[in-house]
Amino acid sequence: MSNSEEAAPPARLSAAGVDLEPSARLKEAEAGAERETWDKKVEFLLAVIGFAVDLGNVWRFPYICYKNGGGAFLIPYLIMLIFGGLPLFYMELALGQYHRSGCLTLWKKICPALKGIGYAICIIDIYMAMCYNTVLAWSVYYLVQSLQAELPWTRCFNAWNTDRCRQSPANGTLPAAGGGASNSSANTTSPAYEFFHYAVLEVQHAKGIDDLGAVKWPLALSLLAVFFLVYFSLWKGVKSTGKVVWITALFPYVVLFILFLRGITLPGAWMGIRYYLTPQWHRLSDVKVWIDAATQIFFSLGPGFGTLLALSSYNKFNNNCFKDAMITSTINCLTSFLAGFVIFSVLGYMATVQHKDINEVGTDGPGLVFYVYPEAVAMMSGSVFWAIIFFLMLITLGLDSTFGGLEAMITGLCDEYPNMLGKHREIFVGFLLVFCYICAIPTTTYGGTYVVDLLMIYGPGISVLFIVFVESVAVCWFYGANRFAGDVERMLGSRPGIFWRICWNFVSPLFLLFIFVCSLVTYEDLRTKDYIYPRWSILLGWAMTGSSLACIPAYIIYMFLATPGSLKQRFYVCITPESDLELNSTLVPAAITSKESESAAAPTAV
Residue 329, annotated as binding a ligand:
no
Asked if residues 307 and 404 have their Cβ atoms less than 8 Å apart, the reply is yes
Single-letter residue type at 472:
S
Interatomic CA distance for residues 430 and 509, integer angstroms: 37
Is 541 annotated as contributing to ligand binding? no
What's the sign of the alpha-carbon dihedral 35, 38, 41, 43? negative
Q: Confirm if 537 and 454 have CB atoms less than 8 A apart.
A: yes
Task: Determine if residue 202 is left, alpha or beta; phi over 0 gives left, psi from -120 to 50 gives alpha, anything else beta.
Answer: left
The angle subtended at Cα 447 by Cα 443 and Cα 450, nearest 5°, is 75
Q: How far apart are CA 351 and CA 376, in angstroms?
A: 10
Phi, psi (degrees; rounded to nearest 5) at 160: -85, -10
- What one-character DSSP code corresponds to residue 215? B
End-to-end CA distance of the chain: 36
Q: Is 401:226 a contact under the CB 8 Å cutoff? A: no
Backbone angles phi, psi at 69, to 5 degrees: 110, 15
H/E stretch holding 433 reads helix 425-440
CB 290 within 8 A of CB 374: no
Q: Which residues pair with 175 in a beta bridge?
A: 166
Query: Does the annotation flag 318 for ligand binding?
Result: no
Residue 505 in marked binding region: no
Secondary structure of residue 19 in the 3-state scheme? strand
CB 124 within 8 A of CB 409: no
Residue 13: helix, strand or coil by DSSP? strand
* Nearest CA among 353, 400, 392 for reference residue 376: 353
**Of 428, 411, 416, residue with least CA distance to 308:** 411
**By C-alpha distance, which of 277, 330, 305 is closest to 45?**
330
If you compute the radius of gyration of the chain from its CA atoms, what whole number of angstroms results? 25
Judge whether 400 is annotated as a binding position: yes
- What distance in Å separates the CA atoms of residue 17 and residue 367, rounded to the nearest whole number? 58
The shares of helix, strand and coil residues in the chain, as percent rounded to the nearest 5, are 70, 0, 30
Q: What are phi and psi of 27, to 5 degrees?
A: -60, -40
Tell me whether residue 432 is annotated as binding: no
Q: 488 a known binding residue?
A: no
Pick from 333, 401, 289: nearest CA to 81: 333
Q: How far is CA 117 from the centre of its chain?
A: 17
Tell which residue, 130, 141, 109, has the closest CA to residue 24.
Answer: 109
Was 53 annotated as part of a binding site? yes
Of 41, 46, 42, 39, nearest to 332 by C-alpha is: 46
| Residues 6+ away with beta carbon under 8 Å from 316 | 3, 37
**φ and ψ at residue 13, rounded to 5 degrees:** -115, 150
Contact 271, 351 (CB under 8 A): yes
Q: Is 50 annotated as contributing to ligand binding?
A: yes
> Which segments are annotated as binding site for Na(+)?
50, 52-53, 57, 300, 332, 397, 400-401
> Which segments are annotated as binding site?
50, 52-53, 57, 300, 332, 397, 400-401
